[in-house]
Structure 1
Amino acid sequence: MRRTAACLLLSTTLPAFAADPVALHCERLFDARSGRVLGEHTVVVEDGRIRSVQPGRARLPDGTRSIVLAGRTCLPGWTDLHVHLGSQSSPASYSEGFRLDPVDYAFRAVGYAEKTLMAGFTTVRDLGGEVTPHLRDAINQGLVDGPRIFAAGKSIATTGGHADPTNGYNSMLSHLMGPPGPTEGVINSVDDARQAVRQRYKDGSDVIKITATGGVLSYARSGDAPQFTEDEIKAVVDTARDYGYAVAAHAHGTEGMKRAVVAGVTSIEHGTHMTDEVMRLMRQHGTWYVPTIYAGRFVADKAKEPGYFPEIVRPKAATIGAQIQDTAARAYRGGVKIAFGTDQGVGPHGDNAREFIYMVEAGIPPAYALQAATVHAATVLGVDDQGVIEAGKRADIIALPGDPVADITAVMNVDFVMKDGKVYRRPEAE
């Protein structure tokens, strides 16, 4: 939705950051480029940017406000590359779509966004949800608290595919609504593919999301069948490139992944049935992998609960979900580039950091897991002003007790959050 003149005025009059300089005294600092934890550092922040990073307890000009983060490691604010802030899984999720309005989902999303920010995630990429572009704008205008959002808006699907919004509708509803088309994010040809991307541009999306294969939670039988032709995906990618968009491809099945990688997508999401051939293609094309181990483990666990999922979904959740952690382990050993994403909205928002623990359980080194949510994620987003604590970069800084490289479980205890130089959370006793 285009911003109104009133919204534009509001966004320029509300402060986005604290202008006065503040110094953070960090007992340790995570260098995201090298993956090493360094000793004591002083980070000076001004006008929403990092002004300087100095080793030790640096001398500061008189009047500089200080925040002492004793016993804590400072890290760049984390990025979760795969969330859905407009929803959260529950046994009622499938019926709520018929009862709730977009406004209901928008109000829920405000709370989910704040939980995500307070957990240390200063940036997210929301891969499918019509309310999220509006939430992004509200956060940017200072109306609500939340992470910086790169929003896909409506995911692009094929008829009957994962993200076809009419899956599961009865014949009367389908007749009344008519078949969805590119405006609604459903395509069946190369021309449709181009139109769907252009519609996302019109809607104000920041990234394009396609559902290259079936999905676990959609009301459909197959969770891994390919659902686009390679020509259709290439049309999406080529048109997206015209508008400066990256393309993220949800994909569980092998053939769908191969088509997406060859067609030039930026990232493969989930990647459950990734084979050695797919890994070779990903290395060749420079494709990123976003595993979403959390979502896999969550749905596999909930599939054991009768009634949590519809019966058409339950077998997919039990079989596909349980495999993602092993796939992530093989992908890391196979030299595939990995970036951080959870698919939260499947699991509970605010618990995103548990993905780090699952990555380490899969054999991914803690330092690499932290890089996946910092420098790697920034590369996937195509930005160079975040993901590291360096002079001139955005002042997105978090802190937590302990050393997460030595003990990855420390990621669950974030107690300091700064985004664009504004402090949103701080320890009770500094």
Structure 2
Amino acid sequence: MTRLALALAAALAASPVFAADAPVALRCGKLFDARSGKVLGPHTVLVRDGKIEGVVAGTAAEAAAGRETVDLGGHTCTPGWTDLHVHLGSQSGPQSYSEGFRLDEVDFAFRSVGYAKKTLLAGFTSVRDLGGEIAPHLRDAINQGLVDGPRIWAAGKSIATTGGHADPTNGWNDMLSHLIGPPGPTEGVINSVDDARQAVRQRYKDGSDVIKITATGGVLSYAKSGDAPQFTVDEVKAVVETAKDYGYKVAAHAHGEEGMRRAVLGGVTSIEHGTYMSDEVMRLMKQHGTWYVPTIYAGRFVADKAKIDGYFPEVVRPKAQRIGALIQDTAARAYQHGVKIAFGTDMGVGPHGDNAREFVYMVEAGIPAAAALQAATIRAAEVLGVDDQGVIEAGKRADVVAVPGDPVADIARVLEVAFVMKDGRIYKRP
């Protein structure tokens, strides 16, 4: 049904774009060099067949001859941004918990098409969708050119333990629970090392690109604890080792200290959220090379919405108030301790298309603007394990975003995206 919904939505959502094989010259007033973190002067970016053909200092009139020229003077060009933590199949609101019972996959699929386009037009040419059965199908529809959206690394169904953050039956009454039966590895719920292996293999069968585990409780799940550890070290290791067989990296949702410690020792690639991250956990992350994706936006969003009566169920509200408000401070400490930080928002918790506000929150936490931009470009590519994006260099994907002024001098400029190119196609221009 999801595939059908996406095919139908394509007729409504697809928009005309400029052909990816047309040679283009982008005349940038400034250029952000993601490797050095420096803003350079005027450069011309030459694009052909979806790739960056060359990068030339100045206006490069001769090199640009015979190409469609896009004047981005007065703008800074950066590599396309990557959000490493989104959920394109949903968006939270007061009705979110009941909609899971009232709506069909088709309804969520239609919504995801709009969310994907908003994300792309906000400057995010790639995302890692960490949990949602719609995402692999949406990825395929975007790759086929049926709908507009970012390049997607899709986790599919998150892997949880019984009663854990991604147990799909949390909050169900006895009648429903008895009718459906307890979820198992096929549904992404494990309780042993063997279950863990089976769950990863099922994600492979389902077409996932990355594995996500919920190593601790979570804020928005219908359960009391937001930070209790929910996997053993052996279970995490089983997930990671099996994931390696398929070339997958593993992202771990984790708020509590002990759950993070187990996830790091188990070999995960990244810790997501990391609210109660201790100095000891930071030391372990540096030792093991584990990345941190803070998702400050989500923390601030849920803390704010928890003040509104009825926005969250009462079992969720205290967690949102307590945990959400802490993430920005954790990100500040992690940066000061030298933990490797990459960009992610947990968008879907907040409204899609507002992803760039995370840059502003990162800078408020004391992370330099250049480092924040690197987190969403070259560092994000490192987390994904790819080397064909994240920088504006010859031979790389032609993913380019332009904002007015200089975002390193004024990070709020990221909220004014004027130009978006993905794989050489122009989706937005001044």
So what's the TM-score if we normalise by structure 2? 0.96
Residue 16 of structure 1 contacts residue 142 of structure 1 at CA under 8 Å; is this kept in 2? Answer: no
Structure 2 counterpart of 1:21, from 4, 23, 35: 23
Once the two structures are superposed, the pairs formed by residues 25-424 of structure 1 within 5 Å of their partners are: 25-58=27-60, 59-60=62-63, 62-424=65-427
Q: CA deviation at 1:15?
A: 10
Secondary structure in 2 matching 1:379: helix
Aligned to 1:338, the other structure's residue is in SS state coil
Rounded to whole Å, the distance in 2 between the matches of 1:149 and 1:223 is 28
- The 2-side partners of 1:3 and 1:109 are apart by 12
**How far off is 1:415 after superposition?**
1.0
Secondary structure, aligned partner of 2:325: helix
Secondary structure of 1:337's aligned partner: coil
Q: Matches of 2:356 and 2:3 in 1, distance apart?
A: 33
Q: Alpha carbons of 1:269 and 1:61: their partners in 2 closer, same or farther (altered >3 Å)?
A: closer
Distance of 2:276 and 2:230 partners within structure 1: 15
Question: 17-26 or 232-241: which moved more?
Answer: 17-26
CA distance in 2, matches of 1:189, 1:171: 24
In the alignment, the residues of structure 2 paired with residue 212 and residue 154 of structure 1 have an alpha-carbon distance, to the nearest angstrom, of 14
| Deviation at residue 63 of structure 1 after TM alignment | 2.0
Whole-Å Cα distance in 2 between the matches of residues 200 and 86 of structure 1?
17
User: Any conservation in 2 of the 1:123–1:147 contact (CA below 8 Å)?
Assistant: yes
* Displacement after TM superposition at 1:93 (Å): 0.2
Structure 2 contact 275–326 (Cα < 8 Å) conserved? yes
- Report the residue type matching 2:200 in the other structure: V
Question: 2 CA distance for matches of 1:138 and 1:379?
Answer: 25
Contact 1:214 1:224 survives alignment (8 Å): yes
Distance 2:406 2:3 in 1: 43
Given that residues 25 and 64 in structure 2 are in contact (C-alpha distance below 8 angstroms), is that contact kept between their aligned partners in structure 1? Answer: no
Secondary structure of residue in 1 paired with 2:392:
coil
Dislocated runs of 4+, deviation >3 Å: 1-4, 14-17
Shift of residue 134, structure 1, vs aligned partner: 0.2
Deviation at 1:70, TM superposition (A): 1.6
Find the residue that maps to 1:160 and give its secondary structure: coil
Q: Is the 8 A contact 1:356 1:369 kept in 2?
A: yes
- CA offsets 1:121-174 (integer angstroms, 9 cap, x no match): 000000000001000000000000000000000000000000000000000000
Find the aligned partners of 1:191 and 1:51 in 2 and give their Cα distance.
Answer: 48
2:230 and 2:133 map into 1 onto residues whose CA distance is 22
CA-based RMSD = 1.7
Count residues in correspondence: 420
TM-score, structure 1 as length reference:
0.96
Q: Aligned equivalents of 1:118 and 1:256: distance in 2?
A: 36
Q: Does the 8 A contact of 1:17 with 1:48 survive in 2?
A: no
Cα offsets for 1:66-122 (capped at 9, x unmatched):
111120000000000000000001000000000111111000000000000000000
Q: Deviations over 1:181-202 (max 9, x none)?
A: 0000000000000000000000
Inter-partner Cα distance in structure 1 for 2:266 and 2:235: 9
> Partner letter of residue 126 of structure 1?
D
Runs of 5+ unmatched residues, structure 2: 8-15
Relative to structure 1, the CA distance from residue 17 to residue 213 in structure 2 (aligned partners, 3 Å threshold; closer, same or farther) is: farther
Q: CA deviation at 1:60?
A: 2.6
The CA distance in 2 between the partners of 1:361 and 1:101, in whole Å, is 40
Distance 1:145 1:294 in 2: 24
Cα distance, 1:2 vs structure 2: 13
Query: For 2:332 and 2:66, how far apart are their aligned partners in 1?
Result: 50
CA distance in 1, matches of 2:353, 2:3: 29
| Residue-by-residue CA offset, 1:389-420 (whole Å, 9 max, x unaligned) | 00000000010101000000000000100000
Q: CA deviation at 1:16?
A: 10
Structure 2 distance, partners of 1:421, 1:389, is 12
Following superposition, the deviation at residue 227 of structure 1 comes to: 0.3
Q: Give the AA of the match of 2:98.
A: S
Task: Return the alpha-carbon distance in structure 2 between the equivalents of residues 328 and 17 of structure 1.
Answer: 40
Inter-CA distance 202–15: structure 2 relative to 1 (3 Å threshold): farther
CA distance in 1, matches of 2:422, 2:396: 11
Tell me by how many angstroms 1:62 deviates. 3.8
* Structure 1 unpaired stretches of 5+: 8-13
Q: Report the Cα distance in structure 2 between the residues aligned to 1:168 and 1:270, rounded to whole angstroms.
A: 23
Corresponding position of 1:10: none
Q: 1:188 to 1:17 in 2, by over 3 A?
A: farther
